Amino acid sequence: MDDCIFCKIIANEIPSYTVYEDDIVKAFLDISQGTPGHTLVIPKKHVPDLFAYDEELASAVFARIPKIARAVKASNPTIKGMNVLNNNGAVAYQSVFHSHFHLVPRYTDHDDFKMIFKDNSANYSAADYQKIQQSIIDHMED
């Protein structure tokens, strides 16, 4: 895609701090560095979001994430954990519409990077959960 910043990074039209690259993915430091070592993993094939993956691409991209994550973790002995994030759609805070996965190293439970989910469980009955569960099962592709 001509106007995609990640496609331009893949084509080396825009510089990046690449940490891993093969024929399927490119991994490079996120310019924002949510925490030190914050890395993006992107497929070289332009797909806008997770919903656009086929099984083959998903298998190939996801198979590489643990290897890259282990290298990021090993790069700094003070990394204690890692968030692996993927936002899909503007409503989910996706800002670049070329699928990408964030590997965000966690050093302490006081890092500036926060993930906060509201506990809505009090608003759901067993029947509510079962209705959601069945709807997802009914739409599962073979």
Question: Are 74 and 56 contacting, i.e. CB atoms less than 8 angstroms apart?
Answer: no
pTM above 0.85, yes or no: yes
**Per-domain boundaries in the chain:** 5-112
Check if 102 is active-site: no
Q: Contact 26/49 with Cβ under 8 angstroms?
A: no
**Superfamily for domain range 5-112:** HIT-like (3.30.428.10)
Q: pLDDT tens digits for 48-68?
A: 999 999 999 999 999 999 999
Is the pLDDT score of 1 beyond 70? no
pLDDT at 48: 97
Q: Which of 46, 100, 110, 139 is catalytic?
A: 100
Using alpha carbons, select from 31, 50, 28 the residue that is nearest to residue 41: 28
